[in-house]
Amino acid sequence: MSDLQCPATAVLLDDAVPPPAWLARLPVAERLGAHGAEELVRLVEDTADLFRGETFVVAAPAGDVAQALRERGLGGRAPAVVEVDSAGWRRVPPPDHAP
């Protein structure tokens, strides 16, 4: 059965580098910070429940972002855009990605 709610969109950033230019084009409901992959995963999942259909940003050390993505079965590194709902995490291209 599919999730009947809209997914939340989480933008995961490396807190040691400036945010990508495309982030300025997104309506961001909340900006948060995390330290540690476990805290990052928990924060993303808890915040996704509050911001269904909206975008929020979480900045964390690059290694924590990469580890959190791996723990959710996704590869890659920051910046990463993921949709989060009851079915899990799915990577999606950032808004400037050309098909």
Q: What is the mean pLDDT of residues 14-40?
A: 96
User: What global pTM score does this model have?
Assistant: 0.91
N residues, the chain: 99
- Domains in the chain: boundaries: 8-92
* pLDDT at position 6 over 60: yes
- The string of pLDDT tens digits covering residues 66-91 is 999 999 999 999 999 999 999 999 99
Task: Report angle CA 61, 67, 71 to the nearest 5 degrees.
Answer: 145
Strand locations in the chain (E): 8-14, 28-33, 55-60, 80-85, 88-92
